[in-house]
Amino acid sequence: MAVSAYTVLDDRIAQYVNRVKAQRHATEAAVVQELVEAGYAETVRQLHTRYQRGELSFRAVAAELGLSVRELYDLFEKKGLPT
């Protein structure tokens, strides 16, 4: 389920969004979405690392991401991350 969100960007992030927008002739929303997705991917990567180190259980990672255990298995598999 997709959600729309309104947010105010930090000046530096706004400058980056404007530069990329002009460079790629992309919409502001597309650039911000790309940034959010990159942030999410990094969050998943960091949680996966903590899981692999034995700092967090698999279920704790799923809870942290708001996913069910099965959804997390699917996500890790899609990203090629071992469980």
Partner 1 sequence: MEAGLAGGYPDAVTIKERIDVGRIEVRAVARMSAPFEEILDLYGLQEGDKAVVRLALQAADVAATVTDDRLLYIVLHRCGYQALFLPDLIEQAVADNACDATIGQQLLLAVRPRLHRGFVEHSLRRLEGVI
**Residue 8 DSSP class:** P
For partner 1, the binding residue among 53, 65, 78, 79 (CB under 8 A) is: 53
Site for partner 1 contains 69 (CB under 8 A): yes
Site for partner 1 contains 19 (CB under 8 A): no
Closest CB 31 distance from partner 1, rounded Å: 33
Site for partner 1 contains 55 (CB under 8 A): yes
Question: Terminus-to-terminus CA distance in the chain, angstroms?
Answer: 26
Site for partner 1 contains 54 (CB under 8 A): yes
